Amino acid sequence: MAADSLFSPSWYRVAELRPRLRGHLRVHRHEYRGQRWYVLEDLLSRRMHRFNPAAHHILGLMDGRRTVQELWDLAATAFGDDAPTQDELIRLLAQLHAADVLQSEVSPDVAELLRRTQKHRRQQLVQRWLSPLAVRIPLFDPDRLLQRLLPWYRPLFTRAGFFVWLAIVLAAGLLAAGHWRELAEDVTDRVLAPQNLLLIALTFPVVKLLHEFGHACAVKAWGGEVHDMGVMLLVLMPVPYVDASASSAFRETRRRAVVGAAGVMAELLLASLALLLWLELQPGMARAVMYDVMLIAGVSTVLFNGNPLLRFDGYYVLSDLLQIPNMRSRGQQLLVQVVESRLFGVDAPPVEQHPRERAWLLAFTVASFFYRIAVMLAIALFIAREYFFVGVLLALWSVAATLVWPLVKGVAYLARHNRLRRRRLRAVAVSTGIAVFLLLLLFALPMPLWTRAEGVTWTAQEAVIAAGTDGFVQKVLAPAGGQVERGTVLVTTEDPALAPRIRILQAQLDLLEARARAERDVDRVRWQSTQEEIKSTSAELAVARERYEELVIRSPLAGVLFLPGADDLPDRFLRKGQQVAFVLPPGPATVRVLVSQDEVDLVRSRTRSIEIKRAGALAVTEPARLLREVPAASRRVPNPALTAQGGGLVATDPRPGEPQAVAMDSWFEFELQLPQSTGRSIGERVHVRFLHDPEPLAHRLYRSVRQVFLSRLTV
């Protein structure tokens, strides 16, 4: 078996060839995870190819005089058991041939070279069409300009330059924290103002141009070359780009990582300087431009360029720090190899990898695939809010590029690829089985369905005890948590000005009545006027006495008294209508729940049962029963605990002056009844789950897409 794996039945085809490498190549030695590798740089195509020491040894022997058989014999002598097999050497020759870096004494096939060139151009064109959010248009070669400016920016890429950059960015961060309220105030209105949108459109390309020059300067400062710079249509907006792939040839991992991070670092420096100017400038256009620079360079670059799941700066920095080059392509190759070997039973060539790289490559490939889809659909949805048809076309384009086209390629691979010629039936059967399973999972298999919501324990409106009039708390007469009867005095309050006012009104009334008796038989006109004053004073006195009676707060019901903050009540001033206490009458407690507009239809029409968990006892699940529903949606929040500020889910209107919490969106309110045996409380957070009939995943996906079109796009 060892001999069978060492030799190849196709060896006779290449054994007598005398290959040699072309002259436009450069070799660099790298260290990855303690292992030595060699990077072959093609100076014409700017492409990089990585080889292990055995392959590098064979490459060094390719002088055009030795045959392939002699190369293999020398490698076997040098490496012994670690020498490559004949099949591995054939694959190496095929890789070099496909990269156009190999030549031999065989006359070149001009027709084949033309076909390969046309194929490469078609692949580049297809790749551009498959990336609708990032189309590149090359413009000029910046290498000479960078060489002239080299003495100016080279000091920036030293340790002293890094510490200066770090000091500026940290100082700006501290200043931003100190002025955060001023920076974040009305940010949406400031950014989306029509005049500011024009400033952003003019500022964005300039900021990104400096970003790209950061990459280019980092490459040039350490001896690399930069020959491609142009414009990339990123989400339909022109953005500069630069080809900094020459950094892949740098031996030091630190330098490669700095090149990848140079753009983000340049933008952070620019945002820091813009903040310093923004703090000094007076309100006007210049200050607005500085604010836009901070927004673009300090926020968007970190969230977008710095994300390693997108093939931008963060991807290359992560790849260099983990010392896993070409994570995306190698991850895709590894995934294909796993599918071919584990599912299709094909003896697929192994992907060169360190033992600890396998998990990283597979996890990155899967995560980046789904994240790219999510990002493209989110951008398409954002554009569709303003330009519906453009956003829909962009979404369809993105789905076709990330889902439909790979599916078409997969079908073609199953039908025609030579590697499956002996396992094609098994590959088709396994692929069909997986497809049928996914279809059944999506459209036929019922999955549990529920709606989550939050609420607070509550009581009937008549059980809420509020202050009847303004006054200072004098005494708390009933103990919190105790049993009280209807009419029991709970709290007494006082208004120092109310008792003298009653005495004054009573004296005025007595005087008016005496005057009326004297005028009744003497002057009927004055008597009638005095009668009107008596009525007015009597009404005022009645109101004052009613207020005096309301200074004593009594229990409206019989039940258990809840008196929040009882120790802090004495001498506290209470406004009229301010809630003071609650009385829970005998019987089950209730819960007030808020349900969003997207989920209210499920709760109304398809609820089978209801389960709750109290925040203080999450391990206990209790049943509940629907009592009633407020028929219309409302933006009023029944309890501050349900707002985002109180730890809930409801985002509230931040504008000042609102008498109570007002939600940004409309919510539907439901009232649930808890079991009789459940402990009583008021204002405790409750997690509610409305259980519905199971349904397949495809139905949920359709409902979610429909809700997006109805709520976000109003179609």
Query: What pLDDT digit, counting tens, does each position of 229-248 carry?
Result: 888 766 556 778 888 877 77
CA-to-CA dists, residue 194 to 200, 223, 236, angstroms: 10, 45, 19
Backbone angles phi, psi at 348, to 5 degrees: -75, 145
E strand segments, 73-194? 102-103, 134-140
Strands 464-466 and 579-584: antiparallel
State the pLDDT confidence band at 113, using cuts at 50, 70 and 90: very low
E strand segments, 495-606? 552-554, 559-562, 573-574, 579-584, 590-596
Three-state SS for 62? coil
Three-state SS for 87? helix
Residue 205 DSSP class: H
For residues 419 and 391, the model is more confident at 419
Would you state the pLDDT for residue 618? Answer: 83
Report how far residue 114's alpha carbon sits from residue 111's, in angstroms, rounded to the nearest whole number.
Answer: 5
- Give the percent of the chain with pLDDT over 90: 5
The radius of gyration of the chain's CA atoms, rounded to the nearest angstrom, is 39
State the pLDDT confidence band at 358, using cuts at 50, 70 and 90: confident
Decide: residue 76, CB within 10 A, 0-12 exposed, 13-18 middle, 19+ buried. Answer: middle
pLDDT digits (tens, 9 = 90+) for 643-687: 777 677 777 766 554 545 677 778 888 988 887 655 556 777 889
Report how far residue 136's alpha carbon sits from residue 128's, in angstroms, rounded to the nearest whole number.
Answer: 8
- Give the percent of the chain with pLDDT over 70: 83
What domains can be seen in the chain, in order of their start residue? Answer: 2-107 (3.90.930.40), 128-323 (no CATH), 461-579 (no CATH), 585-711 (2.40.30)
Give the mean model confidence (pLDDT) for residues 388-395: 65
**Which one, of 45, 39, 100, lies nearest residue 227 by Cα?**
45
Largest CA distance in the chain: 146
Asked if residue 98 lies in contact with residue 53, where contact means CB atoms within 8 angstroms, the answer is no
Would you state the pLDDT for residue 699? Answer: 87
pLDDT digits (tens, 9 = 90+) for 473-486: 888 877 777 777 88
Would you state the pLDDT for residue 186? Answer: 65
Asked if residue 41 lies in contact with residue 26, where contact means CB atoms within 8 angstroms, the answer is yes
List, in order, residues 6 or more apart from 665 with CB less than 8 Å away. Answer: 596, 597, 635, 651
Asked if residue 403 lies in contact with residue 659, where contact means CB atoms within 8 angstroms, the answer is no
pLDDT digits (tens, 9 = 90+) for 497-537: 888 888 888 888 888 888 888 887 777 778 888 888 888 88
Report how far residue 415's alpha carbon sits from residue 418's, in angstroms, rounded to the nearest whole number.
Answer: 9
Its pTM stands at 0.58
State the pLDDT confidence band at 4, using cuts at 50, 70 and 90: very low
With DSSP H G I counted as helix, E B as strand and the rest as coil, what are the percentages for the chain, rounded to 5? 55, 20, 25
- Side chain identity at 688, as an amino acid letter? V
Among the ranges given (130-139, 260-269, 534-543), the one the predictor scored with the smallest mean pLDDT = 130-139
